[in-house]
Amino acid sequence: MKEYSLRKLLIKLLALFSVARGYNLAMLALAQYMASLFIFSNGKNHLEILFDKNLNFIILASLLSVAAGYIINNFYDLEKDAIQRPLRNYIERFISQGFKLNTYLFLNALALLAALMVSWRVMIFFGFYQFLVWFYSHKVNRIVLINNLYSVMLTVFPFFALFLYYENYSPIIFFHAAFLFLLLLCMDIVKDLTTSTADVIYNYRTLPVVYGEKKTKQVLLPLMFITAALSVFMWDNSATGYMRYFFLFTSILLVLMMIPVWTGRSKTAFKIIYLIFKLLIGFGIFNMIFIDLNPLDLQNII
């Protein structure tokens, strides 16, 4: 009996991890810490940054708010996910809709408490973010093109909290933000190409559903080209340090990927392209360390 209860608990924890997109949360935490260390901090001691109480509470509030966002999005998209991701949907059904809703509210409250530990202004910032996330799941995710722009904005929003905290207004930060925004936008449109079948059934007005696959590609390809051009600019900018080679690699890869994007027809092809975008973003997170890496000045690492 105890063994059965333990197994049931483990399955529920796995289901909750899946609903809250545990992997994405881990990558977000890593990205925020890497950005704080190598982009926003402007040369501060790394250990001092890592043990900054306010920074840790801001990142905790971000993670809790984003986790809550994934849960409420799953709450609304349960039937669509049953078609698009049947195995994951099967696991996630081990937790009830009521439990998801209660967890969503609990995580949001916990996030606001963490934000309040920094200041009431930070709490208002994350309260506003939580409203934007709910509004996306409730209304915006069915509005063509706006859903892509809005979704990417929500993804970038937690980094805006770091931007405000460090008050670093260096131009290179805006270029990094623009690059990330465009890359995520391209990836989000590719994702729509992989989910068009379920989107049609449940009346999600995405670009492929409303305008068709060909016109969606005609929107996607110029965005990829602009992102590649911005990557070349970042490669030529000395402020990116040794990360400049990542931007050079990205520009070449994006240009090469334009061929399979245009010629691709099957969902499998689009899923592979989507996976490449995800890997590229993950690769970019780890490459942030090379912005600040100087063999002649290693004391900043400790």
Q: What CATH number is attached to the domain comprising 224?
A: 1.20.120.1780
* pTM summary value: 0.86
Dump pLDDT digits (tens) for 158-170: 999 998 888 877 7
- Tell me what percent of the residues of the chain surpass a pLDDT of 90: 49
Output the pLDDT for position 270.
93
What CA–CA distance (Å, rounded) separates 185 from 189?
A: 6
Per the prediction, the chain carries an average pLDDT of 85
Output the pLDDT for position 163.
87
3-state secondary structure 82-117: HHHCHHHHHHHCCCCHHHHHHHHHHHHHHHHHHHHC
Dump pLDDT digits (tens) for 64-76: 999 999 988 877 7
Here the contacts of 11-14 (C-beta below 8 Å, separation 24 or greater) are: 11/91, 11/94, 12/94, 12/95, 14/91, 14/94
In this structure, are 174 and 293 located in the same domain?
A: yes
Which domain range does residue 77 map to? 7-168
Output the pLDDT for position 164.
86
In this structure, are 17 and 147 located in the same domain?
A: yes
Under the banding of pLDDT at 50, 70 and 90, the label for residue 79 is low
Paired tokens of 63: 């993670």
In this structure, are 74 and 155 located in the same domain?
A: yes
2 assigned to some structural domain: no
Number of independent structural domains in the chain: 2
What CA–CA distance (Å, rounded) separates 213 from 265?
A: 9
Q: Which of 58, 35, 54, 37 is nearest to 46 (CA)?
A: 37
- Higher pLDDT: 13 or 119? It is 119
- What is the pLDDT averaged over residues 245-266? 93
In this structure, are 249 and 120 located in the same domain?
A: no
Decide if 96 contacts 85 (C-beta within 8 A).
no
Listed range (32-46, 55-69, 203-217, 271-285) with the worst mean pLDDT: 32-46
In this structure, are 83 and 145 located in the same domain?
A: yes
pLDDT for residue 1 is more than 60: no
pLDDT for residue 292 is more than 80: no
- What is the pLDDT averaged over residues 183-202? 87
Q: Which of 35, 28, 76 is nearest to 204 (CA)?
A: 76
- What is the pLDDT averaged over residues 260-272? 90
